[in-house]
């Protein structure tokens, strides 16, 4: 998690399982994000189900942009990465890197050897 937090634009991060249980990391306690993080994996799965009917392509991430900050959720298989933005938007290369990170982590935690 320390390496993810060093990616440009990322202020903090957390890793969750598909059922919403936290695996590692943490977002600042004063933001009270536990509830939204717990439900994010199921929201992503529901959005993905409806994207099949569109021509938008595969879901890369889901961003919640709020008055006091923004958080983007990336999911692969049974793992979800929540990345709190340092600013309101993440650079494109940061989004790509976070997407790759969740794929790598998913390989490790969704299919343990």
pLDDT of residue 98 exceeding 70: yes
Task: Give the burial class of 89: count Cβ atoms within 10 A of its Cβ; 0-12 exposed, 13-18 middle, 19 or more buried.
Answer: middle
pTM listed for this prediction? 0.89
pLDDT the model gives residue 66:
93
Tens digit of each residue's pLDDT (9 = 90 or more) over 61-78: 999 999 989 999 999 999
Domain ranges, residue 50: 2-110
Tens digit of each residue's pLDDT (9 = 90 or more) over 1-44: 788 888 999 999 999 998 888 888 889 999 999 999 999 999 99
Number of domains in the chain: 1
Instruction: Write 89-95 long-range contacts (CB < 8 A, 24+).
Output: 89/9, 90/9, 90/10, 91/8, 91/9, 93/8, 94/7, 94/8, 94/9, 94/10, 95/60, 95/61
Q: Could you tell me the CATH number of the domain that includes residue 66?
A: 3.30.450.30
Task: Give the burial class of 11: count Cβ atoms within 10 A of its Cβ; 0-12 exposed, 13-18 middle, 19 or more buried.
Answer: middle
């Amino acid at each position: 998690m320390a390496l993810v937090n060093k990616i440009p634009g990322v202020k903090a991060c957390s890793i969750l399982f598909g059922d919403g249980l936290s695996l590692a990391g943490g977002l600042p306690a004063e933001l009270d994000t536990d509830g939204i993080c717990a439900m994010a994996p199921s929201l992503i799965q529901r959005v993905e189900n409806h994207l099949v009917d569109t021509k938008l392509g595969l879901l890369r991430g889901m961003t919640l942009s709020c008055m006091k900050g923004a958080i983007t959720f990336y999911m692969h298989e049974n793992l979800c990465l929540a990345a709190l933005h340092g600013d309101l938007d993440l650079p494109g290369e940061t989004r790509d890197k976070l997407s790759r990170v969740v794929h790598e982590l998913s390989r490790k935690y969704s299919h343990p050897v």
